[in-house]
Amino acid sequence: MSLRLRRVTVSNFRKFRQPVVVDGLSDGLNIIIEPNETGKSTLLEALRAAFFVRHGTKNQLAQSYAPHGDAVAPEVRVDFEADGVGWQVMKRFLKNPMAEVSSLGSRAQGEEAENRLHALLGSVKDTSQRGDPSLHGALGLLWVAQSEALAVTAPSQIVRERVRSTLEGEVGTIMGGTAYRRVRDRIDRQFGDYWSPTGQRRGRQAEARERLDTAETKAKEAAERLAALEQDFSELEIARARLKVLTRDVADGADATKRKDLQTSLETARIAAQVLATRRAERDTADAQVIALDDLDQRHVAAAGAAAKAAQSLATLQIEHSQFQTELGTAKGRLSEARVALTTAQAARDAARDALAAGEVLDRRLRRARAIGAARARHTELLAYEDQLATARKAGATLIPAKVIAELEASDRAVAQARAVLAAGATVIQLTGSAPQVTIDGAPMGSEPRTITSEVRIAVGGGSILLVRPPAVAASAEEQLAQALDRERRALAAAGAADLSEARAQNDSARDAASLMKILEARIAAVTPADGELDLAAGSAALKLLVAGLSDQDAPTHERPDLPGLSTQLAKRETEVARCEGVHQAALDALRKLEGAETLLATREASARSDFDGAEAQRRAIEGRSEFPSLTSRLSATREKAVQAAVALAQAERDASVHDIATIARKIELIDARARAGTDACNRAETDIARLGGIVESEGGKGLAERAVTADEEVEAARIALLSVTQEAETLKLLRDTLGEVQAETSGKFVGPVAHRAKRHIERLLPGCEPSFSEDLALDGIMRGGISEACLSLSKGTQEQLAVLTRLAFADILLEQGRPVSLILDDPLVYSDDARLDLMSDILADAAGRMQVILFTCRDRAFRHLPGNRVILGPNSLSSGALQDGRSSP
Amino acid sequence: MLKFIHTGDWQLGKSFGRFDQETRIALGEARFDAIDAIGDAATKRGIVHVLVAGDAFDTEGPSDRTIVQAVSRMDRHPCRWWLLPGNHDYARNGGLWARVRGKAGKRITVLSEAEACEIEEGCWLLPAPLANRHNLDDPTALYDGMETPGARLRVGLAHGSVRDFGSQGETRNQIAPDRARRSGLDYLALGDWHGTVAIDRRTWYSGTPEVDRFQRDEPGQVLAVTLTPEAEPEVTPVRTGRFQWLVRDWTVGSGEALNGELDRLLAGVEPAATLLRLSLAGIVRLSDRIAILNRLEHHLRHQLRHLELFSDDLVGRPTDEDLADLAIEGMLGAAATRLRSRIDGGGPEGAVARRALERLFVEHERDEVR
């Protein structure tokens, strides 16, 4: 059924300070075209206030109804029809709030009025601060305020359930929403007591687990403490048993008796030991006496023996010594004889040696004298040769060198040539007669022809001068000759010769002298040989030196001595000497040997004498001692005594070995130690018992066993509780999961029919497109050409259009169910292009055939073509009266 | 003639840790109260001697409070209390009994030595104390060596199970069943078995004065014994116990059947002093099961001192009607169907699913009730 608003009166409501009335609203499409700011949206607010806002509320929304700054009571009154019956609702807010609903003569006020409205419109009480359209039932979805127009929102819970219950027959299932929600809410709450939203155990489960853990910890602790106490108890028992045994042991007298016996034995043993010591000392004394006497006797015998032996030895040696003295005398005689012979031989030899030496000296003097004579002769020869050599050397020194000779010969030839040339051109003058005044060039002229080659002045006396001038050729020839002569002169000067022939002769004699020199030098060398006799070196200088040093002695005149004879004599004497020396040495050696033997013999004799003296002295000393006379008898008596002492000692030893003091003392010590250990152990046991007794008393008083049992039982109880809690948790989990699954599954069943209805409208706008809805019946998106597009990705215009169309679809479904629906759109389709606007206008016009549709708009032109009831929003009521558009709908 | 109270197995200081705090305290206190009940019973009958046949204390190491409570309760009554160490409270040096002696007055005698004592002229008590938690020998064998000069009456006091008596006794020290005859006893007072049992005319287990476990329905009691030489003992049970520990196994076909059983049970007991271990079995409608558990959990549990409920064997099977109720709720019905198929799968998961289904019904019913 359609809900049809007929008349709305608003006063003191926001901008409507003065009453405003909208009247004449028709069944179908109503268009209220007003400029901005005239209060179209306020009118929609007023309608919502009248139907859904509790009159008594002072919430923010209600507060906002009062005109700004006025403390007045906003009031709304609406006349409407539902299911063909006329209704009137009237509400006043804030001041003296009231609500009144009347229909068919029945009237309700206050809460009752509110409840009637809820029952009629399917809304629920709105306790929100700002108003919650989701609680307004179907009209919450279908009365679209300007701000809500764009959103493709899901229908509210109430609307969903209405829609679903409408479709239950069609899908063959039911949601059972209300009961489900109650059960579900309760189960969710209970679930929350056991589980976290992510399925983690918490709350009661965690508490139960913790209780068990705590109980287990406590039980463990209690059991441990109890076990410790039990341990102490058993230790105490053990200590007591030990003490009992120990006490018995300590009390036992066996050890004491034994100790007493041992003590007695110890005394006996001590006495025996003393006797033993005495006997041992006695035996030792007797032994010592025997030894001393024995020693004395032996020493006496030894001394006497030694003296006798030494005496015999001394006698033998003395005899031997005397024999030896004789031998020694003989040897000495022989030696002196040998010495005399040797001296004689030596004298003879020395004489021979002297004779030979004298002969040799004489011989040397004779040979030297002879050599000096020869040297003098050669010296004379030498001097002669040296004179000759000096002469020859002088001649040889005039030899002109070959080069000088050649130059000489060449210059000679040049002079000859120049002379020839001069002769040919020169003028020869010759003064004949004597005329001494005549001079030529200042010099007397002479009578010799004179060849002139250059101008010459001949003073002829009287001051006259005869000038002779030879031809020019003569002059140069003369020059050349002069040169040639000059050359020749220089060459001669060099050669030291007057002329060439002289030079040649000079050269020949020089050459001869050189040959002579060589001969002379050889001769000189021959006469100056070396002479060993005179220590003379070869050479003339040595010879001259020797000769210069010689005195003019006379040569000796002795005969030459017989040197070989002298030598032979000497050799004979030497041999003699050697022989004598041998004899002498032999005698000497023999004597020395004898002397050595004699010394040895003397030493032995001395030693023997000393031995004898020593032994004899000792013997006498022993014999001099007082005891010596009775020695033998005393010795035998002492020996007897020693034997007796030894026997007594053996007896004492046997006696002492019967009671060993150390052993007895050890046994006593053992018994004492045992007693001490027993006492110590007793003390320890007592201490342990006292300690453990203390522990047992203090710990026992704590009731540990009772505590342990209690703790164990608590563990058991906690375990059972945990089991039950876990069971409960699992149960709730399963139930909640199952409820969730069922809800999802069931919700899915309703999506299809909703989509199907929406498609009818949407297809007109977007041909060939499939709308898709989520389980909560929100439009998710559309499928176009196999491509899915989410609502949010569509254009604003399309979104708005889809929002209107899905609302229309829900309105249709609710209409089917007979719910009171009407569609109010505040300034819709602002984003639509002309074509879409036309199409949407047509769809809305169609819808208006099924339900009342009220459009608020400020766009006169956009909706001008729409056939519908034009309503004026006028002050002070007075409705426009319906300006019915004449045009019929397309 | 000798008159005495024969009791034992007080198990003082028992912790009852598996119970909730309140019950735990109540049960613990009840054990001390039993001493007063015994003292009163003795006084009322002019009886002086109270023979405690072992296990007066639950452990060898109880708390001081337990000991002091026990001692001071005993001291309040004009009785002679003869306490025998049992296997729970065995005698050892420096142990429990040394502590008891340290706190006890003159009325209390601890029989920690196996020595006969003349409690009245010509009346000898032959104690067989235990010195260990586990004892292998027959402690009463020592009776043969005990001198009781001038005895007119010989009373044995021992703790342990009688040989071949059954496997439920706790101790291994098995007592010869004919010990009274063998040792010429006029009466053998035994402890260890928590119910009252007569082995022969002169050999008795007194049972515990306050029951401490689910074993038998009867409340705790003691025995008032009168001995006369050459005559049979006169033995009279006297109730001292406060709490009844009941064990019930019920097979239930419907909610009504259970209600009937419950009503009958409650009519015969003091609910506040009753502990009930209830095991339910049977197959009922799921809605019935929910209703039954609802009554037990939300009503009976609060009526009784303690309820231990085993209901796993009470199978709640949803009927078509049950399921139809849910089916109209759409998704809840679908959930129920899913869970049912899981239950059919069996196994541990099936068990969880069964509980889940039950819970679903419970929560749905709760709405319905509202």
For A782, how many CA atoms within 13 A lie in the half-sphere containing its CB? 26
- A173 in reach of chain B (CB within 8 A): yes
DSSP 3-state assignment of A697? helix
* Beta carbons of B94 and A693 less than 8 Å apart: yes
- The answer to whether residues A849 and A28 touch, using CB atoms and an 8 Å cutoff, is yes
Question: What pLDDT does residue A174 have?
Answer: 61
* Beta carbons of B364 and A179 less than 8 Å apart: yes
- Range with lowest mean pLDDT among A116-130, A385-399, B323-337: B323-337
Those of residues 676-695 in A touching chain B at CB distance below 8 A are: 692-693
Taking only the tens place, the pLDDT of each residue in A196-227 is 888 888 888 898 999 999 999 999 998 998 88
User: How many angstroms separate the first and last alpha carbons of chain A?
Assistant: 25
Q: Which one of A472-486, A672-686, A817-831, B234-248 scores highest in mean pLDDT?
A: B234-248
Q: What percent of chain A has pLDDT over 90?
A: 3
| Res. A696 pLDDT band, cuts 50 70 90 | confident
Taking only the tens place, the pLDDT of each residue in A284-299 is 888 888 888 888 888 8
* Beta carbons of B364 and A732 less than 8 Å apart: no
Nearest-Cα distance to chain B for A224, in Å, is: 14
- Backbone φ and ψ for A320, nearest 5 degrees, come out as -55, -40
- A734 in reach of chain B (CB within 8 A): yes
Best mutation target among A167, A178, A180 (most B Cβ atoms within 10 Å) is: A180
Residues from chain A that touch B18, judged by Cβ atoms under 8 A, are 713, 716-717, 720
pTM here?
A: 0.52
| Res. A887 pLDDT band, cuts 50 70 90 | very low
Nearest-Cα distance to chain A for B30, in Å, is: 17
* Beta carbons of A704 and B61 less than 8 Å apart: yes
Taking only the tens place, the pLDDT of each residue in A66-78 is 888 778 889 999 9
Question: What pLDDT does residue A884 have?
Answer: 39
- B332 in reach of chain A (CB within 8 A): yes
Q: Is B244 exposed, middle or buried (0-12, 13-18, 19+ CB in 10 A)?
A: buried
Q: What would the two tokens of residue A828 be?
A: 């819709």
Give the mean pLDDT of B27-33.
93
Shortest CB distance from A739 goes to which of B335, B342, B352?
B335
Nearest-Cα distance to chain B for A127, in Å, is: 24
Residues from chain A that touch B96, judged by Cβ atoms under 8 A, are 700
Question: What pLDDT does residue B72 have?
Answer: 93
Which residues, other chains included, contact A823 with Cβ-Cβ below 8 Å and sequence gap of 6+?
A: A142, A143, A144, A807, A808, A811, A844, A847, A851, A852, A853, A854
**Interatomic CA distance for residues A351 and A358, integer angstroms:** 11
**Interatomic CA distance for residues A339 and A335, integer angstroms:** 6
Which residues, other chains included, contact A441 with Cβ-Cβ below 8 Å and sequence gap of 6+?
A: A456, A457, A458
DSSP 3-state assignment of A429? strand
Q: Which sign does the torsion angle of CA A799, A804, A807, A809 carry?
A: negative
* Beta carbons of B96 and A734 less than 8 Å apart: no
Question: What pLDDT does residue A308 have?
Answer: 87
Give the mean pLDDT of A621-635.
82
Taking only the tens place, the pLDDT of each residue in A653-671 is 888 787 778 888 888 898 8
* Beta carbons of A187 and B93 less than 8 Å apart: no
- Range with lowest mean pLDDT among A100-104, A509-513, A669-673, B160-164: B160-164
CA distances from A354 to A365, A568, A588, B198 (A): 17, 13, 30, 178
- A666 in reach of chain B (CB within 8 A): no
Q: What would the two tokens of residue A836 be?
A: 């879409």
Question: What pLDDT does residue B68 have?
Answer: 92
DSSP A562-625: -HHHHHHHHHHHHHHHHHHHHHHHHHHHHHHHHHHHHHHHHHHHHHHHHHHHHHHHHHHHHHHS
**Residue B145 pLDDT more than 80?**
yes
Shortest CB distance from A179 goes to which of B329, B334, B359?
B329
Best mutation target among A167, A188, A710, A746 (most B Cβ atoms within 10 Å) is: A710
Taking only the tens place, the pLDDT of each residue in B321-347 is 777 777 766 778 888 888 888 888 878
Q: Which sign does the torsion angle of CA B136, B139, B142, B143 carry?
A: negative
**Interatomic CA distance for residues A247 and A243, integer angstroms:** 6
- The answer to whether residues B196 and B207 touch, using CB atoms and an 8 Å cutoff, is yes
Residues from chain A that touch B328, judged by Cβ atoms under 8 A, are 174, 176
The residue to which tokens 């064998």 are assigned: B141
Give the mean pLDDT of B261-278.
90
**Residue B39 pLDDT more than 90?**
yes
Give the mean pLDDT of B7-15.
92
Taking only the tens place, the pLDDT of each residue in B66-78 is 999 999 999 999 9
Question: What pLDDT does residue A1 have?
Answer: 67
> How many CB pairs lie under 8 A apart between chains A and B?
148
- Backbone φ and ψ for B220, nearest 5 degrees, come out as -65, 150
Beta pairing partners, B238? B222
| Res. B173 pLDDT band, cuts 50 70 90 | low
> Which chain B residue shows the shortest CA-CA distance from A749?
B331
Q: Which residue has the higher pLDDT, A413 or A453?
A: A413
Give the mean pLDDT of A777-781.
76
**Residue A401 pLDDT more than 70?**
yes
User: Chain-wide mean pLDDT for chain A?
Assistant: 82
Give the mean pLDDT of B185-209.
91
Nearest-Cα distance to chain B for A716, in Å, is: 7
Nearest Cα residue to A452 out of A465, A471, A466, A437: A471
DSSP A141-177: HHEE-GGGTT--PPPPHHHHHHHHHHHHHHHT----H
Those of residues 735-754 in A touching chain B at CB distance below 8 A are: 735, 738-739, 741-743, 745-746
| Res. A888 pLDDT band, cuts 50 70 90 | very low
Q: What would the two tokens of residue A872 be?
A: 């004026």
Residues from chain A that touch B359, judged by Cβ atoms under 8 A, are 187, 731-732, 735
* Beta carbons of A710 and B15 less than 8 Å apart: yes
| Res. B54 pLDDT band, cuts 50 70 90 | very high
Best mutation target among B331, B339, B352 (most A Cβ atoms within 10 Å) is: B331
Beta pairing partners, B83? B52, B110
**Interatomic CA distance for residues A668 and A657, integer angstroms:** 18
Taking only the tens place, the pLDDT of each residue in A549-570 is 877 665 666 777 788 888 888 8
Element (H, E) at A693: helix A661-700
Give the mean pLDDT of B12-22.
88
**Residue A882 pLDDT more than 50?**
no
Q: Sheet harboring A853-857: ordered strands across?
A: A143-144, A823-826, A853-857, A29-33, A869-871, A883-884
- The answer to whether residues A50 and A22 touch, using CB atoms and an 8 Å cutoff, is no
**Residue B168 pLDDT more than 60?**
no
Nearest-Cα distance to chain A for B84, in Å, is: 19
* Beta carbons of B59 and A700 less than 8 Å apart: no
> Which chain A residue shows the shortest CA-CA distance from B63?
A703
Question: What pLDDT does residue A292 have?
Answer: 86
- Backbone φ and ψ for B28, nearest 5 degrees, come out as -65, -45
DSSP 3-state assignment of A75? strand
- B117 in reach of chain A (CB within 8 A): no
DSSP 3-state assignment of B283? strand
DSSP strand pairing (A779-784 vs A787-790): antiparallel
Q: Which residue has the higher pLDDT, A452 or B35?
A: B35
Best mutation target among A166, A194, A712, A735 (most B Cβ atoms within 10 Å) is: A735
Taking only the tens place, the pLDDT of each residue in A722-758 is 998 998 898 888 888 888 888 777 777 777 777 777 7
Q: Which sign does the torsion angle of CA A496, A497, A503, A506 carry?
A: negative
Question: What pLDDT does residue B155 have?
Answer: 93
Nearest-Cα distance to chain A for B150, in Å, is: 34
